[in-house]
Amino acid sequence: MPAIGAACLFVGLLAALYAATASLYGVQTGRRALVVSARRAMYALAGLLLLAVAILEVAYARSDFTFALVAENSSTTTPTFYKLTAMWSSQAGSLLLWAVLLSIFSAVVLRATRRRHREIVPYATAVLGGVAAFFLSLMLFYSSPFDVLATPPVEGNGLNPLLRHPAMMIHPPMLYTGYVGFTIPFAFAVGALITRRTGADWIRSTRRYTLVAWSFLGFGIMLGALWSYSELGWGGYWAWDPVENASLMPWLTGTAFLHSIMVQERRGILRVWNVSLIAATFVLSLLGTFLVRSGILDSIHAFGASTLGTPFLIFIGAVVIGSVTLIIARLPDLRSAPWLDSLVSREVVFLLNNLVLVLLCVVIFWGTFFPLISEALSGKRQSVGPPWFNFFGTPLALVLVLLSGIGPAVAWRRATLAGLWRTLTVPVAVVALTLVLLLVLTPAADNVWALAMFCLAAFVVAVVSQELVRGASARRTMTGGSWPAALAGLVSRNRRRYGGFIVHVGIAVLFLGVAASSAFIEQRDVRLAPGQSVELDGYRVTYREPTARILADESDTGAPITLGAVLDVEKDGERFVLSPSRNYYTAGDAQSTGAIRRFFEGEATSEVAVRWGLRQDLWTAVRPDIGVLEEAIAKADRQFSDPRFADAQGLIVATIVERYRQQAPPAYFRTLVSPLIAWIWIGGGILLLGALVALWPAPGAADRRLRALYAARVGRELSRA
């Protein structure tokens, strides 16, 4: 089976190279048959890589440790769900995931455009084939997922404990779908530049793929934040980690691209800006993959140092040089006539939106790579922390939310200040009322940045609500239906517009949650013995008793030992129980670590306990003090180090764990109250809903496409007559 998988990669590389060369040669010589065969080669590539993935997944499911990848990242005791998703926890497996997703995207878009853009598509095929060939080359020559072990072990290493969380196992495919999806508009942009067809046709054909990529990348970022909040045990959701930042940067430039292409579609302008944006987005997507693979920056998400850094850097450099050269060469074709009819117009708001998004991306890029920059300039590696990112990012975020509220209220081409004021009168009144209520009823005045974000979030919601009410009212007047029917009909008739409005609301709600949870969080780190309590924000948290379990962790991660605590919580007469815990995984082997000690000194992960709420979360994590077990562990190691007593080791470990529960030693607790943090996840859900609305085909779209294809065919037949 490993040989079949490796053969799939090798034949896939040949197919990708053939697709790239045949499509170029075919379009240059006018041999249409070669272009068609290149497209079919990309179909074959998708089939080959799907077969390779299936082979690897079967190996994981069967715990086939002849596969080196399976032995390194799985075990017989790994729960089935984590076995099936362990592929992308490894370097080679994630490269295969990248390649198979790219092949699927490529097959779908080439199938959809087989009768359109005959000048552009061959060059796009060449780009897609070239990118696929790069990733296949990495797997064949640097990091193969089908390497075999001459002497397979009886047991595998198991999955990294930190990755044993449902959100984390879905998170990488979401991110990779986003990264890979941006390859499609980039490939078509290259084709448009080469053929000098720099109008909006290539944008219309790839807009849906761009939106899919943007949506998946955003969803993946949200899942990663949720994993951090509920698994890492530090209480936060975003640490400005290099790999976190690497996923955010292409999402920001992708957001800018989605806005600016609307200007090009409507006005035929911003052509240079748009091809530059999509090129930057694709490069940043590669950069995100590079950071995880190379290990050049410290990150909890990175795979560590590897040999992939150099080829990735060379490929990224080639893409940058090629893109810049092509854009400069096509500047005469990209230039457009002066376009600012008025400084008060939606075009200007979109341009300002783009500038803020790109500036925010530049800030994040500088902070992320500052260790390398400082080392190159001074010889000493230095880094910047969250306060630096927050200092520069917060004002930009405020401007971004403000613009997301103004944009829907401004007309295209030209608007008057008087007309804009009339449109914004009600939203501004809502902001004034919100400000008064916040100052009177809440401590929001203690943090001016949070207060400003609350008001701007209210502004965005008010503007979008006003636009929906006005549109539904007009439609209701025309159709005579009910308000819900009018609203549904309004959104259905212009899903792209109103889906975008919903996304704006989601962004505002998300930033509201970020502002509140960052500015007004309360945290206590304490050491408590059973019966002792800690108080914060009106909560009284009492450590009732410890818990101890063997092979029975509540999250089904397969942890051998779970130690935790039962906490009694009381506030304003309401009582409830929280049970945080910590999972301990076996480390090393008996000879190097100790027959019994290895069960307690492996990697440990937190299972936090959260009282979720719309107003605030009460978040708790525990770090048991297992030092009280040191004497018992050392004694057991001396007595049961002989392999003949291996069968008794499990019983001894269970006895020691039970001793921890009976002794009830003190434990270390981190307790936080995070106001409005749930609105981060709610905002993310609203954002995803808006993206789905914008993606959903409008009524009659399929019929219009069929009519367009029919008209194109008739036109070709008439031209031949």
447 and 390 co-located in one domain? no
Question: What's the pLDDT at 596?
Answer: 74
Report whether pLDDT(590) > 50.
no
Tokens (6 digits) for 577: 């129980």
Please, how many CA atoms are within 13 Å of residue 90, restricted to the half-sphere of its CB? Answer: 28
Q: Is residue 698 part of a domain?
A: no
Q: Which residues of 568-605 are buried (b: 16+ CB within 10 A; e: fewer)?
A: ebebeeeeeebebbbbbbbbeebeebbbbbbbbbbebb
| 109/184 Cα distance (integer angstroms) | 8
Task: Read off the pLDDT of residues 432-465 as tens digits, 9 standing for 90 and up.
Answer: 999 999 999 888 888 999 999 999 999 999 999 9
146 and 211 co-located in one domain? no
282 and 368 co-located in one domain? yes
534 and 442 co-located in one domain? no
Query: 473, exposed or middle or buried, with CB in 10 Å at 0-12, 13-18, 19+?
Result: middle
Nearest one of 125, 52, 127, 62 to 95, comparing CA atoms = 52
Query: Residue 248: which residues within 8 A CB-CB, separation 6 or more?
Result: 221, 364
Q: Is residue 711 part of a domain?
A: no
138 and 246 co-located in one domain? no
pLDDT-based confidence at residue 301 (cuts at 50, 70, 90): low
355 and 251 co-located in one domain? yes
562 and 630 co-located in one domain? yes
Question: Residue ranges of the alpha helices (H) in 594-695?
Answer: 630-639, 646-663, 678-695
Q: What is the DSSP string of 268-296?
A: S--HHHHHHHHHHHHHHHHHHHHHHHH--
172 and 159 co-located in one domain? no
Please count the structural domains in the chain. 4
Question: What's the pLDDT at 421?
Answer: 85
What DSSP element (H or E) covers 223?
helix 201-231
Question: Residue ranges of the alpha helices (H) in 379-411?
Answer: 386-406
158 and 172 co-located in one domain? no
What DSSP element (H or E) covers 574?
strand 574-578
| 211/351 Cα distance (integer angstroms) | 19
355, 377, 410: which is the final residue of a domain?
A: 410
Question: What's the pLDDT at 391?
Answer: 94
Report whether pLDDT(617) > 90.
yes
What is the distance of C-alpha 676 from the center of its chain? Answer: 22
391, 410, 429: which is the final residue of a domain?
A: 410
356, 390, 410: which is the final residue of a domain?
A: 410
Query: Residue 507: which residues within 8 A CB-CB, separation 6 or more?
Result: 400, 401, 404, 460, 683, 687
Task: Read off the pLDDT of residues 498-507 as tens digits, 9 standing for 90 and up.
Answer: 999 999 999 9
Q: Is residue 699 part of a domain?
A: no
Do residues 316 and 226 lie in contact, with contact meaning Cβ atoms separated by under 8 Å? no
Report whether pLDDT(466) > 80.
yes
pLDDT-based confidence at residue 671 (cuts at 50, 70, 90): very high
Query: 332, exposed or middle or buried, with CB in 10 Å at 0-12, 13-18, 19+?
Result: exposed
Q: Which of 7-11, 553-557, 645-649 has the lowest mean pLDDT?
A: 553-557
Query: Residue 680: which residues within 8 A CB-CB, separation 6 or more?
Result: 225, 237, 510, 513, 514, 517
Q: Is residue 672 part of a domain?
A: no
Tokens (6 digits) for 624: 């048991």
Strand ranges of the sheet holding 609-611, from the earlier edge strand across to the other edge: 522-528, 667-675, 616-624, 609-611
Q: Is residue 313 part of a domain?
A: yes
Q: Is residue 702 part of a domain?
A: no
Nearest one of 37, 17, 193 to 119, comparing CA atoms = 193
144 and 52 co-located in one domain? yes
pTM for the structure as a whole: 0.91
Q: What is the CA radius of gyration of the chain?
A: 29
Residue 612 phi, psi dihedral angles, 5° rounding: -75, 145
Report whether pLDDT(652) > 80.
no
Q: Is residue 37 part of a domain?
A: yes
Which residue range is the domain that position 469 belongs to? 416-519+682-689
425 and 564 co-located in one domain? no
245 and 302 co-located in one domain? yes
Q: Is residue 708 part of a domain?
A: no
